[in-house]
């Protein structure tokens, strides 16, 4: 075992939230080390939507232009009724008076975390350590002791503060003993990716489509390289069968109305949760992103909310590191972000899930009518767009004292 190395802030996890937080700290001149168990930033079918409010934040650390260059601008997104083909469209251009980015950017989250990890190489006060898995942590009144496993060694670190951005199975959260309350949806969600141009078969398709149906709802998302299709499945059928050609072919045949054989690059199954940590940290250890809260993907709020966590936490941690405020001021981060997670992110994603699943005929009709009424009312539609762009959640957080 080597000697103890020191840093001001340790971060566990080199995903979007961890790399954003590390970049904020490095730019401010603090010594920061990111510990990532994997050998690279995760490259998979995770989040791919960046909302206007998030793009504005990321502009502060110089990464938004890269996302725009590598992604697709999606000002318009659709709520579609599968049975009737009816489309209710929403256009973020309507809020161009409040944002310089009146659109979503469809771009895989890997480009953000990888771009920021590479950018951290320019800072002498920052390190990203891949292949470093946190084993244990212990905090006291003046700092946090870490034991970290590498391929060949156990290394020890002493940091003034530690941030757990290590995802749903957060080791940091587990060491803190913080409960992760909520529920898991009974369905397994299947994500398929295909290079087939779905817009050739489905007229008037936007880059972002939520397709409502009582029997088989879908999310259709375009990213630069592929279309991604998200569909619920019956978990009792078993993973191998759910990822089989039979299931895949049936989904595309029902979607496209053709027996065309569709090739897929990915077939990924995962469970979807609605869970929130009872605390976002204490003392000198805090949680952000999926380590603190999980929600279903309908609306693209998960990763964006995690990035908002990072900016909020940096705002609170900066004066503490400068010595102008005490540790107690970090409790405001917990109050603001946990409040917003409950009042906005969880509530909105549950509502989105309820609408897209449909349900019984009368319930489906009521939800459809509510969406049409929203579209027709200028004031309500604008408020809805501000909520979907996550400006409302930021205002809610700022109001918490």
Q: Residue 212 pLDDT > 70, yes or no?
A: yes
| 3-state SS assignment for residue 91 | strand
Phi, psi of 127 (to 5 degrees): -140, 140
Confidence label for 1 from pLDDT (cuts 50, 70 and 90) = very low
What totals of helices (H) and strands (E) does the chain contain, helices first? 13, 19
* CB contact at 8 A, 284 and 327: yes
Helices within 10-99 (DSSP H only): 16-27, 52-59, 64-70
Q: Look at 70-79, 156-165, 180-189 and tell me which has the smallest mean pLDDT.
A: 180-189
Q: Which of 292-306, 311-325, 346-360 has the highest mean pLDDT?
A: 311-325
**pLDDT for the residue 322:** 96
- What pLDDT band is residue 198 in, cutting at 50, 70 and 90? very high
Report the distance separating Cα 74 and Cα 91, nearest Å. Answer: 9
Predicted confidence (pLDDT) at residue 114 exceeds the cutoff of 90: yes
Per-residue pLDDT band at 355 (split at 50, 70, 90): low
- What 3-state class would DSSP assign to 84? coil
- 346 or 11, higher pLDDT: 11
Model pLDDT, residue 370: 82
Q: Which of 162-176, 178-192, 340-354 has the lowest mean pLDDT?
A: 340-354
Q: For 64-76, what is the mean pLDDT?
A: 97
377 C-beta neighbours (distance < 10 Å), count:
12
Collapsing DSSP to helix, strand or coil, 137 comes out as strand
Share of the chain above pLDDT 90, in %: 73
Answer for the pair 320, 160: CB distance below 8 angstroms, yes or no.
no
| Res. 167: pLDDT tops 70 | yes
CB count in 10 Å sphere of residue 84: 9
Residue 117 reports pLDDT greater than 90: yes
Question: Look-up: residue for tokens 């078969």?
Answer: 201
Contact 124, 31 (CB under 8 A): no
Average pLDDT along the chain:
91
Q: How many CB atoms lie within 10 A of CB 194?
A: 17
Reported confidence tier of residue 348, pLDDT bands at 50, 70, 90: low
Highest mean predicted confidence (pLDDT) among 211-220, 314-323, 352-361:
314-323
Q: Report the Cα–Cα distance between both ends of the chain, in Å, rounded.
A: 44
Backbone angles phi, psi at 97, to 5 degrees: -75, -15
Structure tokens at 140: 């006291």
Q: Where are the alpha helices (DSSP H) in 257-377?
A: 301-322, 331-340, 347-357, 361-376
**β-strands 266-277, 104-106 pairing:** unpaired
pLDDT band at 272 (very low <50, low <70, confident <90, very high): confident
pLDDT of residue 259: 86
Please check the confidence at residue 361 and state whether its pLDDT lies above 50.
yes
pLDDT of 71 > 90? The answer is yes
**C-alpha angle with apex 257: 255 to 259, nearest 5 degrees?**
105
pTM of this prediction? 0.94
Backbone angle region of 177, left / alpha / beta, with phi > 0 → left and psi within -120 to 50 → alpha: left
> How confident is the model at residue 90, as a pLDDT?
95
- The predicted model gives 267-282 an average pLDDT of 91
In angstroms, rounded to a whole number, what is the distance separating the alpha carbons of residues 122 and 125? 9
pLDDT top residue among 323 and 187:
323
| Cα–Cα distance measured from residue 149 to residue 3, given in angstroms and rounded to the nearest whole number | 14
Res 123 pLDDT > 90: yes
**d(Cα 390, Cα 252) in Å, to the nearest integer?**
32
In this structure, the number of other CB atoms found within 10 A of the CB of residue 253 comes to: 14
What's the confidence (pLDDT) of residue 77? Answer: 92
Position 181 scores a pLDDT of 86
pLDDT > 50? residue 250: yes
Residue 359 has pLDDT above 70, yes or no: no
The count of other CB atoms within 10 Å of the CB of residue 201 is: 15
């Amino acid at each position: 075992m080597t000697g103890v190395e020191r840093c001001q802030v340790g971060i566990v996890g080199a995903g979007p939230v961890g790399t954003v937080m590390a970049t904020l700290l490095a730019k401010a001149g603090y010594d920061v080390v990111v510990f990532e168990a994997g050998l690279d930033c995760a490259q998979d079918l995770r989040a791919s939507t960046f909302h206007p409010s998030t793009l504005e934040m990321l502009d502060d650390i110089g990464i938004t232009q890269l996302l725009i260059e590598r992604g697709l601008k999606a000002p318009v997104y659709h709520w579609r009724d599968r049975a009737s083909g009816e489309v209710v469209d929403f256009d973020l251009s309507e809020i161009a008076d409040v944002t310089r980015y009146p659109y979503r950017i469809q771009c895989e989250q890997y480009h953000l975390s990888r771009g920021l990890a590479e950018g951290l190489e320019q800072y002498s006060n920052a390190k990203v350590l891949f292949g470093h898995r946190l084993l244990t942590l212990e905090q006291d009144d003046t700092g946090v002791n870490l034991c970290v496993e590498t391929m060949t060694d156990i290394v020890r670190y002493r940091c003034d503060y530690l941030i757990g951005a290590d995802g749903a199975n957060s080791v940091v959260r587990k060491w803190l003993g913080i409960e992760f309350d909520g529920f898991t949806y009974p369905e397994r969600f299947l994500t398929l990716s295909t290079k087939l141009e779905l817009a050739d078969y489905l007229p008037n398709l936007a880059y972002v489509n939520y397709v409502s149906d009582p029997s088989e709802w879908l999310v259709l998302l375009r990213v630069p390289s592929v279309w991604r299709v998200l569909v619920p499945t019956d978990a009792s059928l078993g993973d191998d069968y759910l990822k089989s050609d039979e299931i895949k072919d049936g989904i595309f045949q029902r979607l496209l109305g053709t027996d065309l054989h569709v090739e897929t690059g990915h077939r990924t199954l995962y469970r979807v949760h609605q869970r929130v940590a009872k605390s976002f940290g204490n003392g000198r250890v805090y949680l952000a992103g999926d380590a603190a809260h999980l929600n279903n993907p309908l609306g693209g709020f998960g990763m964006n909310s995690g990035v908002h966590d990072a900016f909020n936490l940096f705002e609170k941690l900066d004066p503490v590191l400068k010595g102008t405020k005490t540790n107690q001021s970090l409790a405001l981060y917990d109050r603001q972000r946990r409040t917003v997670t409950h009042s906005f992110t969880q509530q909105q994603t549950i509502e989105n899930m309820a609408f897209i699943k449909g349900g019984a005929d009368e319930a489906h009709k009521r939800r459809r009518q509510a969406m049409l009424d929203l579209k027709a009312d200028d004031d309500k539609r604008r408020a809805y767009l501000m909520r979907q762009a996550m400006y409302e959640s930021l205002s809610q957080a700022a109001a918490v004292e």
